[in-house]
Structure 1
Amino acid sequence: MGQGIYHYFGYDLSFEERTEEISKAGFESTMLWWGDEDFIPLSKAEQVECVRRAGLKVENVHAPYAHIWKLWAKDLQIAAEAQQEYCRYIDECKAYQIPMMVVHGMSQEPIEDEQQGFESFSLLLAHAKAAGVTLAVENTIEDSRFDHLLEQLIPEGMKWCYDSSHDWIYSESPTRLLSTYGKALACLHLSDNDGQFDRHWLPGKGLVSFEQIQELLKNQGFDGQWSLEVFPQEVIGSANAFLSEARERLTWVMEGARHEAKV
């Protein structure tokens, strides 16, 4: 078990500076956004090289989610185009020796064809297995079809990513997914919120029960990275100070969150 953080954590820093700050703060791994946008001046290969040069592991990459709805589309051509897009991301993971790709299981858009969605994710899973890449679907909105997706594909090797903030915003019974599917859990996106919006606060600032989460992860035998997906709503102080506090909060979670966090 190690400690990681999503590469973007706020603050006006270059990719190289951000990477160095994460390394200096004592994190062992990071998670990268895997879109094709040009707001990062480095190529994907250069990003991976920069992270590894700083002594960090790329725990996983987060695939873009704008086109997730297309995987559930009734139009076969639209679904096929999305399948090709996400298979390309998997191929890139293989090329850059990235062990895992995280992808949202559902989107806010209405699902058009449930069976098509299951077939799309089954195809992506088969492609990922052939590439030696772990495919982890992330919990987003509350939807029984996410359960069905896991129930169908976990036996085939599908893993999932637990987002604590999504759980506390959208779930009728927070931590139910952890209790039910914890054995297939591959990675974490830990952050806090006020129960209203996906705030990406540091643990201990909001309503999320990290004591419950830690206990369930411990009981389920989770042995992956403990990783934050956080950034401040108001940038105060230095990036170094924020990351130091982030590590303290993450350690607090890992130790059981049984006393009040220093906010």
Structure 2
Amino acid sequence: MKRSNPVEWKVGTSYSPSGTLTLSEIKEAGLDSIELVISRNETDLSYEGLKGRFNSYIQKAHELGLEVWSVHLPFGKDWDISSIDLEKRNQILEYHFEWLRWVSEWNINQVIIHPSYEPIPDNERLERIKACKSSLHLLAEKAKPLDIHICVEDLPRTCLGNTSEEMKTLIDAHKDLRVCSDVNHLLLETPEHFIKELGDKIATVHISDYDGVDERHWLPGEGIIQWDRVISALAQSGYEGTFMFEVKMDKCSPRQLVDCWKDNLLIQYKRADK
């Protein structure tokens, strides 16, 4: 496996049109990419609804020279692909298939999907894993001719995919499945361990800090994550995707993300890598 060079990574941020952050602010700060987040609270999540709501934002990003690296699909109880109610799960998947068709029209190659909602009782876990794997297989089959990677996000607490071992089980559903490594979701192992275990299956990341007790989405440096180890693990895995921040932007600006990367995280990595 060839080691990648973090200096060459693009840097981006998650972006939702329903927030206060603008695409122009993201570009002016010096960021390269965005992850477009589709909220479950949108009034119309049909194919036509997505076109009417989001196409102008993607076009605007392109005009500004911002890459739309990924799309985060809706998540929550109503969109849980691990539902053990087969009829409901099939209805949920039909929406997902429409979302993939829309994403493909913009030549976006990564979609992020949550493997479950929560809470998940222990006595349901194996059945929910089985249901999730069935859904992921169907999604990967649908995504393959569209040149889209289904990126399964690790999740905290009782959600599915809360450890590297369980994530391996989930993505074993299809050889084309990939992983979105959200480092502030890992409550049972360190982010660097998770990254080393999943290796080149990681196609994208969500970057933020936390206290190890629960997800916090803090700016890196405000929590306990050892960033030199995380970046080194990603580099060793050959990661070449975008270093995608997913920080609470009500307490942070795009410029702070750029400064955090250039003046803090990258320097920590270079110092430790000597």
The two structures have a TM-score, normalised by structure 2, of: 0.80
Contact 1:67 1:82 in 2 (8 A): no
Task: Identify the match of residue 239 of structure 2 among 200, 203, 222.
Answer: 222
Equivalent position of 2:170 in the other structure = 149
The farther-off stretch of 117-126 and 28-37 is 28-37
Summarize the alignment of residues 155-170 of structure 1 with structure 2, pairs less than 5 Å apart.
Answer: 156-167=175-186, 170=187
CA distance in 2, matches of 1:38, 1:73: 22
Residues 25, 193 of structure 1: CA spacing in aligned structure 2 closer, same or farther, 3 A cutoff?
same
The farther-off stretch of 138-147 and 101-110 is 138-147
What is the number of residues matched between the two proteins? 245
Residues 184, 225 of structure 1: CA spacing in aligned structure 2 closer, same or farther, 3 A cutoff?
same
Summarize the alignment of residues 52-91 of structure 1 with structure 2, pairs less than 5 Å apart.
Answer: 52-67=62-77, 70-91=80-101
Contact 1:4 1:27 in 2 (8 A): yes
Report how far residue 60 of structure 1 moved: 0.3
Report how far residue 257 of structure 1 moved: 4.2
Gaps of 5+ in 2: 1-8, 45-49, 157-161
Report how far residue 8 of structure 1 moved: 4.5
Q: Give the secondary structure class of the aligned counterpart of 1:43.
A: helix
Equivalent position of 2:4 in the other structure = none
CA distance in 2, matches of 1:171, 1:10: 32
**Identical-pair percentage:** 22
Equivalent position of 1:23 in the other structure = 27
Name the aligned partner's letter for residue 223 of structure 1: E
Residues 11, 114 of structure 1: CA spacing in aligned structure 2 closer, same or farther, 3 A cutoff?
closer
Task: Identify the match of residue 253 of structure 1 among 241, 251, 265.
Answer: 265
Task: Identify the match of residue 132 of structure 2 among 117, 134, 137.
Answer: 117
Contact 2:69 2:110 in 1 (8 A): yes
The two structures have a TM-score, normalised by structure 1, of: 0.83
Name the aligned partner's letter for residue 11 of structure 2: Q
CA distance in 2, matches of 1:255, 1:218: 15
Tell me the alpha carbon deviations over residues 14-71 of structure 1, each in whole angstroms, 9 at most, x when there is no partner: xxxx10000001111111112461599x711112112111110100010111147742
Tell me the alpha carbon deviations over residues 143-164 of structure 1, each in whole angstroms, 9 at most, x when there is no partner: 55433012343xx111111111
Name the aligned partner's letter for residue 243 of structure 1: P
Equivalent position of 2:6 in the other structure = none
Equivalent position of 1:238 in the other structure = none
* Displacement over 3 Å in runs of 4+: 8-13, 67-70, 232-235, 254-259
Summarize the alignment of residues 97-136 of structure 1 with structure 2, pairs less than 5 Å apart.
Answer: 97-110=107-120, 111=125, 112-136=127-151
Contact 1:150 1:158 in 2 (8 A): yes
Name the aligned partner's letter for residue 169 of structure 2: H
